[in-house]
Structure 1
Amino acid sequence: MIRNPVLPGFNPDPSFCRVGDDFYIATSTFEWYPGVQIHHSRDLVNWALVGRPLNRRSQLDLRGNPDSCGVWAPCLSYADGQFWLVYTDVKRFEGNFKDAHNYIVTAPSIDGPWSDPVYVNSSGFDPSLFHDSDGRKWFLNMLWNHRTGSIGGSPKAPAFDGILLQEWDAASGKLVGPVTNIYKGTSLGLVEGPHLFKRKGWYYLVTAEGGTGYGHAVTMARSRELHGPYETHPHQHVVSSKDAPEAPLQRAGHGQVVELDDGKGGGSTYLAHLCGRPLPGTLRSPRGRETAIQKCIWGEDDWLYLEHGGMVPAVEVPAPVAGVEPEPRKPIRRSFVDCPALPPEFQWLRTPEPDRLFQLTGGALRLTGRESVGSWFEQSLVARRQEDASFRAETTLASFAPDTYQQAAGLTHYYNRHKFHALVVTWQDGIGRVLSILSCPGDWPDNRLEFPLAEAIKLPDIGPVRLAADVHGVALQFFADWGLGWRPIGPVLDASVISDEGGRGEHGSFTGAFVGMLAFDTSGGARTADFERFDYLPK
């Protein structure tokens, strides 16, 4: 069985691609660097991260991009003996404008090398590339209309002004011919995330509608002609949890279809889509928007339906090959001693110049204190996704010698600049090296920093400090050990605010929670902090 979500934690907007017996899913990374996650599977049950292709300055520079901007909704395809990756770099979130720039990169193998990007357009986000059977290529993206009241976390349907189609001339590297608005969406509104495929003479258009929250849906339309007109699915939506608040997989939407080949001209059909798992009793999803897979069937009317019926996504669905079991969740322990490269689960924020943020010294992961926690430019934060409702994260801060309160290093449960908790080693006049807690609990729009620890805890002037975060659903408790054993530090904090819906609400941000190591030095002194290990322990 396929057990959903197949990609737990922040893995939204899946683009589903099959090449022979290999399956790939590309997902959005937003402000996290390098850009675009690509996972691989041969059975649709177990998936492994195989790359983040946008990993150099010539391809992507996110410095200055606001929270929840950056790389939105990639599209991965294979044609003409190479992989094609289409992506958006969104430079603005607040206000009426989006400033969404679309690019294409290619590679002969999923491992690369990936080309420098070719600029396509900026008329809207969520681009995709359709390779027609006659060899022509067509570029799609949603059209953004800035002449509305759709700002920030309050999306309005008129801003999502339909799906554009235009021919892409790969030889000249530019769009050619007329632009056609082929689909305006349904009454649900907010049409985006277009993907085209062809079957039995029909052009099928799969789109996302209803926003990124609890009204999300996968919508389907079709036409005998590429340019339309497109008729909408008799049920409008193929997948949605919008009318099933009790379903374990919520926020279901933004999908793409893959058909398998059974060697006889047919095969089963699967649809990858995003979903969210809110904490029980809440409408908050710290794990963000995750990726799930549903098995589908084609009706006699040549429309696609979920095999188990209805539109609500299932947690378990049959895999293509029987007898394949999902690998169990297991602890991941990482030592940075003699570590040749940053372990693959870790990312950092925005910059294509990571050497200014961190280095592997052979004995530690050394973070260089740069700008403040939450900076949109140079923030020294190396973190991994929260994949479980309950977990423990531990790190050893082997060496850090602050001499001003402007210097701090430690462990953080982080979403963005106005949603994070951090247990840090810092300096306090008259005491010396101390433990402190910094918290920004989503107090939108003020984003005020709080200090939940009533009195800073004195530490030895030198020596390692072990730091831990225990998260149990909505509750976060920090712990520390500086040679006297583990002890709780500070009050229990609200872990649920480190979520898509925390702070300004479900459409205000849409990535996911991370846990990791940080350092900052707002004095400009670039004080370094050495981390010896980092463990992520699911509960």
Structure 2
Amino acid sequence: MIDIKMLIELFVFAGDYNWIGKERAIKMAESTIQYSNPVIPGFHPDPSVCRVGSDFYLVTSSFEYFPGVPIFHSRDLVHWKQIGHCLTRQSQLDLEGCRSSMGIYAPTIRFHNGRFYMITTNVKMFRNFYVWAENPEGPWSDPIWPDWPSVDPSLFFDEDGRVYITGTGGFFGDEPKGIYQAEIDLESGKLLSERRLIWQGTGGKSAEGPHLYRVNGKYFLMIAEGGTEYGHMATIARSDSPYGPFESNPDNPILTHRSTGSSIQATGHADLVQLEDGSWWAVFLGIRPVSVPFSGRHHHLGRETFLAPVTWTEDGWPVIGDGGKIAEKMDASTLPLAVDESAVSETDDFNSNRLQLEWNFLRNPQDEDWSLEERPGYLTLHGSALTLNDIGSPAFVGRRQQHFRCSVSTLMSFDPLHEGEEAGLTVYMNERFHYEIALTCGVEGRRQVIFRRRIGSLWKMELVEDFEGSDIILGLDAEPFQYSFFYSLPNGERKAFGSGECSLVSTEVAGGFTGVFFGLYATGNGKSAKTPASFDWFQYIKS
């Protein structure tokens, strides 16, 4: 991260000594100030943002992972530090039996009268709810369940004190598809008005993800259209009333990369925020596909969070980025850039009594499956009968892959004595698409290192090798096209042990709405394991 003040001072210093003029020095310094997209890399889709004074808070979808709805803080919209999750209890987030890529969709965060509100849909039960907190780090309240049969809900607090709930409808009976809205009582969740269809978009498929704003006396309704794939886009309409009729922007879409060769694709599902200086910015999702020879574009990191400035036309319409387009490097000279505090430690030693915020479970975890206190300084996993092939809550603790190029490794202590006991490291997209390098007890009690791939209905034990001892380092090197796995003794040379294509765990192949996780896991492969696996440390180093 560039130290902005130091950079400007350096250029001005040069100007003072007549190397360049002082005015030109300041312009040169400002022209070098850029930020990189995505601002939150890895599987962080459907971002929503709000500002409280000089602070910004952002949430993203979490689908079948627990805790739910990660929340981030920033002082400049560029550097985001995770500060917690909105949904940390099963009473808030029931994911039992939730299918992959179901669960929590498209949250919206807003701040009003000293409280933060986060509203979302649990698609497992197709119900909307919201929680609130006075501190964004939590604790967040138990859910309030409005009678609102839609998805992608959003809250809007009007200047007259009324509160509106807006969402995507058209899923039941003969109800037309489109964006619906009603007035809501915030304390009880009861609707105070009729639920009304207010806009059906511009004709693109899947009109969804609505947000209502009031700007200069006008109501603006921004939505996503085109589906969250390569035709994704953001469109906007305005009205003199929160219920419309809404006039569509003649220059829609205001954000899209459809039919372009950009390295960033599927941009859409945006949310607007106004800064203290009066300027506007947008956060939104996008993907970074990798072009695979003879196979087309694939993305495996998931849908990520991007940022772009918003300008306003003379006739009062917003424009995101450069005519609806953005780049990986963007001008940051007008942002109040702050010190970057977003970095996560490369190594987790598991010395705390709680997991760091980047770790997630698959669905609601079972307390007996994991512990940080059973063996202090280790993450201990007790393998259950469930495997990574099951739609359930296996003994799994994972974190998102956030960089195309990175190295991951862990030191595991595991003494499997019964056939089928297994523990190790996985590259996990969903229960049908994943790779593992692991230590297991095979037939006749032989301890073995294995490399396995599961691709749809096909699976293969690629490599099997006898191993003596119980302490082993398991790891992988990630490149844009390939994962290369390895293992070693704690103080030994590492040995290459299999590889797998990134494209085979991409959304284009595996389906769904999530991204790749690197996970630590244990299983008894059909029965409870009698031997726990203990992980001394986990290391994630971006290249």
* TM-score (norm: length of structure 2): 0.88
- Describe the shift of the 1:111–1:310 C-alpha distance in structure 2 as closer, same or farther (beyond 3 A): same
- Counterpart position of 1:151: none
Q: Deviations over 1:454-504 (max 9, x none)?
A: xx21011x33011011111111111011364210113x211222222223x
Give distance in 1, aligned partners of 2:529 and 2:472. 22
Give distance in 2, aligned partners of 1:525 and 1:516. 18
Residue 380 of structure 1 aligns to which amino acid in structure 2? Answer: A
Give distance in 2, aligned partners of 1:147 and 1:419. 35
Residue 381 of structure 1 aligns to which amino acid in structure 2? Answer: F
- Describe the shift of the 1:486–1:525 C-alpha distance in structure 2 as closer, same or farther (beyond 3 A): closer
- Residue pair 1:279, 1:389 contacting (<8 A) in 2 also: no
Is 2:422 the counterpart of 1:415? no
Secondary structure at the aligned position of 1:497 is classed as: helix
- Counterpart position of 1:270: 281
2:200 to 163, 168, 184: 184
- Residue pair 1:381, 1:517 contacting (<8 A) in 2 also: yes
- Describe the shift of the 1:324–1:261 C-alpha distance in structure 2 as closer, same or farther (beyond 3 A): closer
Is 2:458 the counterpart of 1:448? yes
- Describe the shift of the 1:330–1:127 C-alpha distance in structure 2 as closer, same or farther (beyond 3 A): closer
Is 2:275 the counterpart of 1:260? yes
Q: Deviations over 1:206-248 (max 9, x none)?
A: 111111111111111111111111111112211111021x212
Deviation at 1:340, TM superposition (A): 2.8
Deviation at 1:160, TM superposition (A): 8.1
* TM-score (norm: length of structure 1): 0.89
Give distance in 2, aligned partners of 1:142 and 1:530. 45
- Counterpart position of 1:95: none
1:470 to 462, 472, 477: 477
Secondary structure at the aligned position of 1:496 is classed as: helix
- Residue pair 1:359, 1:367 contacting (<8 A) in 2 also: no
Deviation at 1:146, TM superposition (A): 5.4
CA RMSD after TM alignment: 2.0
Deviation at 1:534, TM superposition (A): 0.5
- Residue pair 1:400, 1:530 contacting (<8 A) in 2 also: no
Give distance in 1, aligned partners of 2:176 and 2:418. 51
Is 2:403 the counterpart of 1:388? yes
- Describe the shift of the 1:77–1:330 C-alpha distance in structure 2 as closer, same or farther (beyond 3 A): closer
- Residue pair 2:68, 2:93 contacting (<8 A) in 1 also: yes
Give distance in 1, aligned partners of 2:459 and 2:323. 46
2:255 to 218, 239, 256: 239
- Counterpart position of 1:96: none
Q: Deviations over 1:300-357 (max 9, x none)?
A: 11100135x3212222333343665867978711112x33321221111110544534
1:348 to 356, 361, 367: 361
Is 2:126 the counterpart of 1:100? yes
Secondary structure at the aligned position of 2:90 is classed as: coil
Deviation at 1:167, TM superposition (A): 1.1
| Higher-Rg member (1/2) | 2
Is 2:438 the counterpart of 1:424? yes
- Describe the shift of the 1:17–1:526 C-alpha distance in structure 2 as closer, same or farther (beyond 3 A): farther
Residue 30 of structure 1 aligns to which amino acid in structure 2? Answer: F
Counting only pairs closer than 5 Å after superposition, residues 210-359 of structure 1 correspond to structure 2 as 210-244=226-260, 246-262=261-277, 267-281=278-292, 282-307=296-321, 309-319=322-332, 320-321=334-335, 332-336=346-350, 338-351=351-364, 353-359=366-372
Identity %: 34
Residue 529 of structure 1 aligns to which amino acid in structure 2? Answer: A
Give distance in 2, aligned partners of 1:468 and 1:390. 14
Give distance in 1, aligned partners of 2:242 and 2:195. 12
Residue 161 of structure 2 aligns to which amino acid in structure 1? Answer: G
Deviation at 1:384, TM superposition (A): 0.8
Residue 383 of structure 1 aligns to which amino acid in structure 2? Answer: G
2:522 to 515, 519, 522: 519
Residue 119 of structure 1 aligns to which amino acid in structure 2? Answer: W
Q: Deviations over 1:5-54 (max 9, x none)?
A: 00000000000111111011110011110000111100112110011020
Give distance in 2, aligned partners of 1:278 and 1:329. 24
